[in-house]
Structures are given as C-alpha cells and as structure tokens.
Amino acid sequence: MEKELDQVSSCIRLFADQVQIQVCKEILDENDDAFTRLSQVYALAGNDARLKILYLIQQQNELCPCDLSDILQMTVPAVSQHLRKLKDASLVRTRKSGQTIFYSIIPDQADVINQLFIHIPNPESIAV
Amino acid sequence: MEKELDQVSSCIRLFADQVQIQVCKEILDENDDAFTRLSQVYALAGNDARLKILYLIQQQNELCPCDLSDILQMTVPAVSQHLRKLKDASLVRTRKSGQTIFYSIIPDQADVINQLFIHIPNPESIAV
DNA sequence: ACATTATTTAAGCAAATACTTAAATAATGT
DNA sequence: ACATTATTTAAGTATTTGCTTAAATAATGT
C-alpha cells in the first residue's frame, strides 16, 4: 500500500526511508567518477608491497626497480610488475638514465599519494 | 671489492647508495605494523562497492544491509559479505533493532575512514 | 662484436576475490 | 504454531591477483 517501486526491491520494510535511499543514490551517482578513481587508487595501495613502494618513491623522490628490490627483499620482476600497475594508473612516471630507470611520483598525484601516509609517523632521522 | 653484502643482491650497480637503502629498510621496519594495517584498510576501500558502503555508512550514521542493497543495486548477500569484511577489520560495528541490523562506523576509526573521502565533494544538499 | 647489467615481458600457477544461488538463523506478526 | 521478513552463512565458480622462472630488450663497457 505504501510501495510504488517499479523495481522489485529486496527490502520490504514498511519504515524504509525511501527519500533517504533516493538521496543516497543521487549522491553516489553524482560522484561516480570520483569513487571509481578512488577505489582504483586504494586497490593499488591495498597491497603491502605497493604501498611501501609508493611511500619510498614519494619519500626518496625517485628510486629504481633495482633499489626497491633490495629494500623490499623481493625479486626484480615482482617489483617491476607492481611499478607497471602504478604507472598504468598514472601515479608514477619514469626517467631513464643509462640503463637505470628512475620512478617518481607524478606531481599531480602527489596530494592523493601523500594522503595515503598521513598516519605514518614522519622520520626525522632522514637527515643522514 | 665494494661489496660485502651477506645476501646476494639482485642489484649490482657500483653507485648504488647502500646507505640510502639501509635507511629505507629501517624506516619500513620501524613502521611495519602501520603499513600492514594501512594496506589492509586500503585493500578494503579498494573495492568500489565497499568504498561506497563505507561512505554511505559514515555519511548517514547508520544503515542496514537491506537499505545498502537498495542503494547500491546489489544482492543482499553480496552486501552482507562486504559488511562482514569491514566488521572483521574492526571498521564498522552493528546495532540490532528488531530484525534489522544497523551498521555504523566504529568511532576510533572515523578519522581513518573520513580520510578516505576527502577528495569527494561534500554534499550540502543533504539537508532534506 | 660480445659479455654484462638493468629492466621488462611472458607464461604458468596457487591463492584470493567477488559474485551467484540455496539454505540456515532469528525476530515479528497473525 | 506458522508464515513472513531481515540477515547471515555456505557452496560453487569465474575472474583477478601476485608471485615464480625463463626469455626478451636495451644500454654499457671492453
């Protein structure tokens, strides 16, 4: 008697707040692109190795696969494949120097990436 | 002649900065727990549906699986399984009212979760 | 030209993901 | 007691992920 939904809802509670539900749908819809991009970034950051790679690159300005392999104690191809994903997502870029390839954060994305680490205590001890 | 690494390194560049590499290792090591937790949270947020679920719960204070199913246009079991992961990770908690179960953000985690959405424009239009 | 080094690419595979449908729980109303 | 409703759980499955090892590219030095 209360229901005029054209779509068969799985939820039949009488007191379901249809207005609230509609508002929510609209908010999601308006920000759909943002959610897509954000979840893509978080999916990349959601891997321990990749999160550390991003952190290290951001913190050291640039690093090569070789160094990352040393630091993270993982094989070079494994690192390389992570770097490729980060590059495909336009989070990092490369600079070639001889046979070494340096990866760095794409400046546009620095904000988003720095956000990822605001709960990691900043090392003062870097001043070698 | 330069190398006294006990571990066979994959990287043999002469100019590899061993100090830098050591410093990086230590930073990672000191923050290992933080990285583990962070990547766990990002892995959860790295799914489009789950990111939206977190956003909606945070924004509406509490929601039930039923409403989320309506809003996100996905089956109730699918939603329920996402909620379980969020609960297992101690990001959300439940309140039971009759047969309805309301999910809300665990206050401790509000900071971390709000961080996830700082690039999503805040809807002023919520004032229904 | 040839060997070495840094990196990427490719192929293979075990594990994790995210859904599906069906069944099990549990609270409510008649 | 019984049917309905909200939710969870379980089992099955296709896809994705993240490594592995081996091979392919490309730059460097002799």
The CATH number given to whatever domain includes residue A51 is: 1.10.10.10
How many domains, in total, are found in chain A?
A: 1
DSSP lists the bridge partners of residue A102 as A95
Confirm whether A83 is domain-assigned: yes
Mutation site, A10, A68, A82, A99, interface B, largest B CB count within 10 A: A10
Q: What is the pLDDT of residues B70-127, one digit of tens each?
A: 999 999 999 999 999 999 999 999 999 999 999 999 999 999 999 999 999 877 655 5
Report the share of chain A in percent with pLDDT over 90.
78
| Gap between the Cα atoms of B100 and B63, Å rounded | 10
- For residue B114, give how far its alpha carbon lies from the nearest alpha carbon of chain A (Å): 11
Boundaries of domain holding A37: 33-122
Top-confidence residue, A127 or A3: A127
Q: Do residue A52 and residue B59 have CB atoms under 8 angstroms apart?
A: no
User: Which tokens belong to B128?
Assistant: 């229904």
Confirm whether A25 is domain-assigned: no
Q: What is the pLDDT of residues B49-61, one digit of tens each?
A: 999 999 999 999 9
CB environment B10-41: b (16+ within 10 A), e (fewer): ebeeeebeeebbebbeebbeebeeebeebbeb
| Gap between the Cα atoms of B41 and B28, Å rounded | 18
Written as one letter, the residue type at B4 is: E
Confirm whether A117 is domain-assigned: yes
Q: Which residues of B touch A125 (CB under 8 A)?
A: 23
Q: Which positions in strand C are less than 7 Å from the protein's CB atoms?
A: 5-10, 17-23, 26-28
ipTM for this model: 0.89
